[in-house]
Structure 1
C-alpha cells in the first residue's frame, strides 16, 4: 500500500466520526449504484471495477453498497432506503423513473454520477430529451466532443475549501480517461461550483488519430457540483481498452491514482454525512 493511499485512509477514517450516532454506533447508511453496462466495453469495464471498489470502500468505512441494473428500481419506495444514489454509466429513460429521481433529489437525496451518466446528444441513442437533468441539474447541456485515446491528465483544484477537494494538492494526476466537453459554459452558471478542471500542463491532451480529438487549449471542467442539490459529477469512468489489437483487454483502471481515489472518498463522505 502506498504512503499516499495510507494517508488517504487515515484522513478519511477521521471523517468517519461524523457519520456515527451519539451512542458511537454506525448509522444504517446505504448507497445504491445504478448501471446498464451494455453500451461500450470501456464503460462496462469501469462499471465492473466500480462495483467492486465501492463495495470495498463500504466495508472499510462503514456503509452498505448495493448495485442494480434494473432501472425500474428507480422509484420512490426503493429509493427511500438509500442515502446516496450513484449513476455508474447511463441515465434513466422511462418518464416514471425520471420523475422519481427528480423527486428524490428535490427532497434532499444525494447523487454521484460518472462519465457517461451525463452524456446526451441529439440525434443519438441518448438524445437530450430531459431538460431538468441535463440543463438544470447537471448544467452541462449536450455532449459536444471528447479526447481520444484515453489518457491521463493533470487536474487543477478550482475550489480548494470544498469537502470533495479536502487535503488534495493544487494539481494531481487523474487516471486515463476519455475526457468530455459540453455545450454549456459551466463557469457562467451561478448554481454550478466547479471543483476541478483540466490543468494547462496536460495539453496537448489526447493522441488522436483525429486532430479534433486532441485538445491544445481551453477550459474544461471535469468535476462539479450544483449548489441547489447534494450532488457531484465526475467526468471519469472510461477505461483504456485494446480495441486496435482486437483483444479488448483492459489497459487502465479508473481507480489507479491515489489522489483521484481520495477525491472519490472525500465525495462519499461529503455526500453521506448528516446535514
Structure 2
C-alpha cells in the first residue's frame, strides 16, 4: 500500500512539473505571403481561387511561412516588403493607377511576386506598359487552348532554385494555356524555366482552339526582379453545374515548382 502511495505521489509530481513547464514557442514564419484574388469571374478561375486558398495555408504550415488572402487590392497602394515579403496574384491584376503604382514600388523596393494564369491577361498592354511589356514581357494575349488539358512540360533552365527538383519533362495539371504576341526568348531579362514539349501537340480538344506546333513558355522569371509567373490556374469545369472536374494542385511534380518557387521568393532554402 505504501509503495502504491509513493508511486501515486511521484506521478502527481511529474504531472505538476509538466503542467508548470514553459510552453515552447512555435517558430515564427520565415516569411509572409499576401495573395490577392478577385473570385467573381469565370467559374474555372473561381474554382482555382477556392482551392488555392485551401492548399496554400496547408503548405504554409508545412514549410514555415505565413499566408494571407485578400480581395482588397487597395492594400497594394502602400504595401512594403517589410510587411509581406511575397505577393501572389491568383486570378486578376491591379486595376487602378494607385494599385499599379503601389505594386511597382513594392517590386522595385525588393518585394517578390508569383503570378498565375489570368494575372497576365490583357488585350491592350499599353494600359500598363511596365507590367505587361517589361515586367512579365508578354505584351498582349494572342491565343489560348480549349478545352483545358494537361500538357507535357519541358524544363529549360536547371540552375534556377524553383526547378531543381523537377525532371527533364513532366505532366502538368489541367489548365487552359495562354500564348502571347511577344517572343519571350528575345527578351534578355526573361529566363524561361519550362515550356510546352512538342510531344503535347495537338494541345487542346477543340480543333479550332488547339496548338499544333510552335514554342509556348509556361514558367519563367525576370532576372531584374524576384518574380515568377506560372501559366496555369484554370480548372476544367462542368459549366452547367459549376463543378470542377480537375485540380490545379493535382500534379505533385508541378507542386514542387510552386513550393520551391515560393521558398526561393521568400528567401528560404528549398527542400
Alignment of structure 1 residues 122-271 onto 2, 5 Å: 122=124, 128-208=126-206, 211-243=207-239, 246-271=240-265
Report what 2:89 is aligned to. 87
Preserved CA contact (<8 Å) 2:80 2:106? no
Q: How many residues matched?
A: 244
The superposition leaves residues 90-134 of structure 1 with CA deviations (integer Å, 9 ceiling, x where unpaired) of 101111111010001011100000000000014xxxx75100000
The superposition leaves residues 188-244 of structure 1 with CA deviations (integer Å, 9 ceiling, x where unpaired) of 000000000000111110010xx331111100001000000000000010000012x
Report what 2:98 is aligned to. 96
Q: Residue 43 of structure 2: which of 32, 36, 41 is its match?
A: 41
Alignment of structure 1 residues 115-126 onto 2, 5 Å: 115-122=117-124
Q: 2: distance between equivalents of 1:160 and 1:78? A: 31
**TM-score normalised over the length of structure 1:** 0.85
Preserved CA contact (<8 Å) 1:120 1:128? no
SS in 2 for 1:197: strand
Please report how far the alpha carbon of residue 38 of structure 1 lies from its aligned counterpart in structure 2 after TM superposition: 1.2
Gaps of 5+ in 2: 1-25
Q: 1: distance between equivalents of 2:79 and 2:234? A: 31
Gaps of 5+ in 1: 1-23
Q: 1: distance between equivalents of 2:101 and 2:71? A: 18
Please report how far the alpha carbon of residue 257 of structure 1 lies from its aligned counterpart in structure 2 after TM superposition: 0.6
Preserved CA contact (<8 Å) 2:150 2:171? yes
The superposition leaves residues 118-167 of structure 1 with CA deviations (integer Å, 9 ceiling, x where unpaired) of 00014xxxx75100000010000010110000000000001012111112
Q: 1: distance between equivalents of 2:194 and 2:234? A: 18
**TM-score normalised over the length of structure 2:** 0.87
Q: Residue 55 of structure 1: which of 50, 57, 62 is its match?
A: 57
Give the number of the structure whose alpha-carbon radius of gyration is greater.
Answer: 2
Q: 1: distance between equivalents of 2:126 and 2:90? A: 18
Q: Residue 111 of structure 2: which of 109, 112, 125 is its match?
A: 109
Preserved CA contact (<8 Å) 1:121 1:128? no
Q: 2: distance between equivalents of 1:106 and 1:78? A: 10
Q: 2: distance between equivalents of 1:135 and 1:168? A: 28
Q: Aligned-pair RMSD on alpha carbons?
A: 1.7
Please report how far the alpha carbon of residue 78 of structure 1 lies from its aligned counterpart in structure 2 after TM superposition: 6.2
CA separation of 1:58/1:274 partners in 2, compared to 1, >3 Å: closer, same or farther?
closer
CA separation of 1:242/1:77 partners in 2, compared to 1, >3 Å: closer, same or farther?
closer
